[in-house]
Amino acid sequence: MLRVAVKYEPAIDSYSKSWYETLRESYLSPQDWEKLRAILAFLLPFYQATKATKGDHATIDRVLFTIDVLI
Per-residue pLDDT, 59? 87
Per-residue pLDDT, 41? 96
pTM metric for this prediction: 0.76
Per-residue pLDDT, 2? 92
Give the largest Cα separation in the chain, rounded: 54
Q: Which long-range contacts (CB under 8 A, 24 or more apart) does 60-64 make?
A: none
Residues of the chain with pLDDT under 50: none
* Domain residue extents for the chain: 2-70
Per-residue pLDDT, 33? 96
Q: How many CA atoms lie within 13 A of 25 on its CB side?
A: 0
